[in-house]
Amino acid sequence: MSDEIKVDLELDVRKLLCPMPMVRVSQNIGKVPVGGVIRAVATDPGSLADIPSWARTTGNEVIKTERNDGEFVFYVKRVK
Amino acid sequence: MNWFSFLAAGVLVYIAVAVFLFGTGYRVFQWFRVPRSGIRLGIFPQPRNKGARVLWMARDSFFFPQVLDVDRWMWLFVILLHLGGIAAFVGHLRIIQEFTPLVNALGDEGMAQFALWSGGTIGIILLVTVLYLLFRRFKSPYKDLSTPEDYFLLVLILVIILLGNHLRFFGDIHVADYREYLQSLLAFRPAFPEAIAESGTRWVLASHVLTANILLIYFPFSKLVHFIGAFAGNLLRSEKQ
Amino acid sequence: MNETREKTLVDILDKKMNRQLLYYLDICTRCSICKDACHQYVSTRDVLYLPAYRAELIRRVYKKYFTGMGQFIPALGEAREIDDKLLDELYQTTYACTGCRRCMFYCPFSIDTTWILSVAKAMLIAAGRGSQILAELSGASISKGENIDLFKDIIIDTLKSTEKELQEKVGDAKANIPIGKEGADTLYVALAGTHTILPAAIIFHQARVNWTLSLFEASNYGYFLGNVPQAKTIAQRIVDEARRLKVKEVVITECGHAYRVMSHFYETWAGEKHLFKVRSILEVIAEYIREGKIKLARGHVSKPLTYHEPCQVGRNAGFYEEPRYIVRQVASDFRELTPNRERNWCCGGGGGLVAEFEFDDLRIKTGERKVQQIRETGAEIVVSPCENCRLQLDTLNEKYNMEIEIISMMDLVVDAMVIDKAAN
């Protein structure tokens, strides 16, 4: 599935503690075009609530979340 | 009294005293008219009880010991300026009421010498401290933060001090003459007694009183309200959580 | 700037006016004693960061619109109209401030600069110029609170592995991390993520405390943003939870501002008294040690260790003794920073600065005092009970090649805990 999503920016936010993964995504969302996608890999489980909540309030979209081996992968689409 | 003296050292005295008193009252009223926030702003450590809180407030307001940590010279000059101001105020009270016990102890000549030396010392201290504060504001970062009000007040106070020192060191007016002048003010018939009217320094006296009047009038509407507000601020410092 | 916007901003100053603020606006003599109190001014020598100047920006607006001098002779006090240039300066001075209140300690009138800057923040927000990242963080917290049912299961699920770690550490297969447990005595409020949950769970388990974990994180970015309604909403999530669960006390994790928000600000914001006690994990741990509820191996840490006093924990909340008591139990070579306690320097990361990347350079530069202080002690370990401080110290450690280890108080405690697995 994940192969089908075109990723514009890879973001490694592993080992960062919350809310820094969310902060990094916010910091970088402007770097992808509208409709573009950031793939962020985090290790702090707090990001499972943080990043979707952030997306909801900023009008962006988490189109997919993966969990593997203590890592959480977010596909965040820039909506506006 | 010529017309200048009559206005500057006569009529204006009443206006100045009234503006100072009512103005200060109004400023305090302004503070109390505004509701206070329920949020406690105190920092720690905090005093054990209310009595200690008042003591801490007094210590911080009169001695601000923490300033010694960062700027010893500033601390010294500011303390000297305020002590000098208080001492000068006390010295002027002799015009209202002779310090009889002191005269009895020192004798007339001794008292005159004491007044010359103490008044002179205070005058010099005030001069030096105000100059220090003024010149301090000529360089960055003090300059960048200062407003014209800051310079205006310092220059005004400097002028008052210079004129006062002139009266102290070069004047030929004696305390009894000042007392007579004050009595005339209290009787609402301002007049210079003969000794002052004929003195060459009467212009200096009139200017000294004039500038002091301007200071009194501006006082309540300037940052000088810190003479009351400091206690409030330093009480908030230890507000209990 | 158009007139309606100007009027809106002036109205904010009017509405935010209170007696404390009016004292502070009226009495400052611009003596600049505070310049040497501020780590940002000391490091940059830029007047923008001089505490009295930061406050003076609001004072000049106050003079312009609220005093006779501003009406008749504005030049005397450099009274200023609200314009874009002023807002630019306000943004830089206000959101850069870490809120450490060291300037208040040194001010001869005890002027609380942060109290004045809280008005600046309200004005900036109204002008649509509040810190964007802090607003996003604040918004995310509120959104999480509103949609907690969406996240509840995820949170509980991610705690399973943490629970396993707890069970291994204490040697008790039944040890658990209770969430939403009604009738618990203690509601523990951690940070997002699990790094402040596991050590607390171990401590509570060993102290045999009837506790439960809050679903919400303690940190409050609405407070840093300066948006009081949002800050209140964020804190209220926890207050409501505490009421629902009928707990006796709410224990806030190692987080400087979170404790203050809950214990010093919330009741006034909400206009109601807490129905529970609010305590910091620091006083709780110190109590458990004193009462013998947890046992620590004395002298467990022999490397030189120092304690960085978070401003919100020391100067602004008064926990001077508890952290030192705990540290002395564990470290055989404890070295104080100089100066310390109420005089301690801010690390440079407070006030949400660690999240505001636009201030990254300033934050690193202005951490130099802290770096120097730590180096002077020769400590190899720095313990600090505040997440913002630790994030900043981590940055400083890297940028200044300090080669120190930065740990939390709970990690220090748990590492030194004597756990009798057989007894569990």
Structure tokens at A34: 């509208």
Site from C137, C257, C395 to mutate, A interface, most A CB atoms within 10 angstroms: C137
Strand partners, C417: C296
CATH class given for the domain over C305-416: alpha beta
Residues in C closer than 8 angstroms to B35, CB to CB, are: 18-19
Q: How confident is the model over C300-340, as pLDDT tens digits?
A: 999 999 999 999 999 999 999 999 999 999 999 999 999 99
**Rounded CA separation C263/C240 (Å):** 15
Residues in A closer than 8 angstroms to C143, CB to CB, are: 53-54, 56-57
Residue C110, phi then psi, degrees to nearest 5: 55, 40
Residue A10: what pLDDT? 95
Residues with Cβ within 8 Å of B137's Cβ and at least 6 positions away in sequence, in order, are B143, B146, B150, B151, B154
Residue B63: what pLDDT? 97
In chain C, where are the structural domains located?
3-130, 134-290, 305-416
Is A54 catalytic? The answer is no
- Looking at every residue in chain B, the average pLDDT score rounds to 95
Residues in chain A: 80
Q: How confident is the model over C9-41, as pLDDT tens digits?
A: 999 999 999 999 999 999 999 999 999 999 999
Exposure of C285 by Cβ count < 10 A (0-12 exposed, 13-18 middle, 19+ buried)? buried
Site from B29, B68, B70, B154 to mutate, C interface, most C CB atoms within 10 angstroms: B70
Write the CA distances from C277 to B43, B201, C291, C317, integer angstroms. 21, 72, 19, 15
Residue A3: what pLDDT? 59
* Cα angle: B215, vertex B219, B221; to 5 degrees: 130
Query: Do C3-130 and C305-416 come out as alike in CATH topology?
Result: no
Neighbours of B106 (CB within 10 A): 15
Interchain CB distance below 8 Å, A50 and C192: yes
- Directed axis angle between helix C19-27 and helix C51-66, to 10°? 100
Q: How confident is the model over B88-134, as pLDDT tens digits?
A: 999 999 999 999 999 999 999 999 999 999 999 999 999 999 999 99
CATH class given for the domain over C3-130: mainly alpha
Which of B46, B69, B152 is facing C318, going by the closest CB pair? B46
Structure tokens at C259: 């404790």
C177 within 8 A of C163, measured Cβ to Cβ? yes
Which of the four pLDDT bands, split at 50, 70 and 90, describes residue C1? low
Average pLDDT estimate for C411-416:
97
Report the candidate in B63, B77, B95, B65 with the shortest Cα–Cα distance to residue B177.
B95
Strand partners, C301: C331
CATH topology of domain C134-290: Rossmann fold (3.40.50)
* Cα angle: C99, vertex C271, C146; to 5 degrees: 75
Which of A23, A49, A56 is facing C155, going by the closest CB pair? A49
Residues in chain C: 424
Residues in B closer than 8 angstroms to C339, CB to CB, are: 69
Q: What is the percentage of chain B residues whose pLDDT exceeds 70?
A: 100
Structure tokens at A65: 């979340």
- Looking at every residue in chain C, the average pLDDT score rounds to 96
Omega of the bond leading into C74 within 30 degrees of 0 (cis): no
Average pLDDT estimate for C45-51:
97
Q: Which of A7, A9, A16, A18 is catalytic?
A: A18
CATH topology of domain B3-36+72-236: Fumarate Reductase Cytochrome B subunit (1.20.950)
Which of B44, B45, B223 is facing C29, going by the closest CB pair? B223
Q: How confident is the model over C252-295, as pLDDT tens digits?
A: 999 989 999 999 999 999 999 999 999 999 999 999 999 999 99
B139 within 8 A of B98, measured Cβ to Cβ? no
Interchain CB distance below 8 Å, C105 and B66: yes
Please identify which residue in the block is written with the tokens 């309606």.
C4
Q: Is B236 on the interface with C (CB under 8 A)?
A: yes
Interchain CB distance below 8 Å, C144 and A48: no
Residue B123: what pLDDT? 97
Report the candidate in C206, C52, C219 with the shortest Cα–Cα distance to residue C142.
C219
C30 within 8 A of B150, measured Cβ to Cβ? yes
Q: How confident is the model over B184-231, as pLDDT tens digits?
A: 999 999 999 999 999 989 999 999 999 999 999 999 999 999 999 999
Q: How confident is the model over C105-163, as pLDDT tens digits?
A: 999 999 999 999 999 999 999 999 999 999 999 999 999 999 999 899 988 988 999 99
In chain B, where are the structural domains located?
3-36+72-236
C60 within 8 A of C77, measured Cβ to Cβ? yes
Residue A18: what pLDDT? 87
Residue C27: what pLDDT? 97
Closest CA–CA distance from residue C18 to any residue of chain A (Å):
33
Domains of chain A: 2-77 (3.30.110.40)
